[in-house]
Amino acid sequence: MRFDFFYDFLISLGYEHPVHPILVHITIGLVVASFVFALIAIAPRYSKFAVTARHCATMAAVTVPLTFLAGIMDWQHFYGGAWTGIFQAKLTLGSLLIALLGLGVFLARRLTYRSPGIYAVYLAAFMTVVGLGYYGGELIHSGSAAGGAESEEGSGDGEQAAAGADGEVAYAQIDQIMQSRCVSCHSSGNPIWELDTSSYAGLMDGSKNGPVVEPGNPADSELVKRIKGITQPQMPMGGSPLSEQQVQRIERWIEQGAPGPEDAPSGSGAEQG
């Protein structure tokens, strides 16, 4: 199932990002609010807040199907429907949250506002959104810290060791960028869009949409278009963009024919003796 028509419409309006984050904050906010108000209502003098808790939970039950649908749409459009561990967890927890909130609405018609059963549902829903938040963070921020460290160190000894004296770029340099910024979403164990950046062979095989590297032609290489934001969404998705130095290094490597790990730069220190 593809939703390209919907995202094409959003792009025509100038919006190029996922839609799930907009809606998820509404649902999660309501679930958290229902739990907090229910805790406040434990005190007899504040028992009236139990009604507020029920209203928040009811509104969350109304919004959660749309939030779940938006997540499915983003998953298909931006991640190619990759059935990875993180998405399995998010889809499972999302389904559980729909069931819990539906149960809350059902019980609200049969139990009192401060019933232990109602409180159990509020607590379970709250713990579920905590889990969803955790896996959402894993999806968005995985590998960002390592990428920042690599950006700061990119001009150090590692670059000099892997590059030739005439500016040729070895695959070892590209692999360093891929490992720190790309493999969290694109590897053999996490093949979003069937792209594996954990190896030279995988990178050159490309994604389900075709090659991402056009040797000798960086301008037409989808890898370059994505990291520069020419094609949306810009990669790494959800993390900080690659540094200008990293982008130039990848472009130079592709321009030089995208040599593999067995092709050492002709001007490397080992050959110069």
Same domain for 137 and 157: no
pLDDT at 184: 77
| Strand ranges (E), the chain | 186-187, 190-191
Q: Closest Cα to residue 73, out of 58, 94, 53?
A: 94
Structure tokens at 167: 């500016």
pLDDT at 31: 97
Same domain for 259 and 190: yes
pLDDT digit string (tens) for 43-61?
999 999 999 999 999 999 9
Same domain for 111 and 41: yes
- The answer to whether residues 100 and 108 touch, using CB atoms and an 8 Å cutoff, is no
**Which has the minimum average pLDDT: 18-22, 74-78, 214-218?**
74-78
- Residue 127 domain boundaries: 4-141
Relative orientation angle of helices 116-141 and 85-108, to the nearest 10 degrees: 160
Same domain for 137 and 8: yes
| Tokens 């920042």 found at | 148
| Tokens 């506002």 found at | 113
Peptide bond preceding 236 in cis form (omega within 30 of 0):
yes
pLDDT at 105: 93
- The answer to whether residues 155 and 61 touch, using CB atoms and an 8 Å cutoff, is no
Number of structural domains, the chain?
2
Same domain for 151 and 44: no
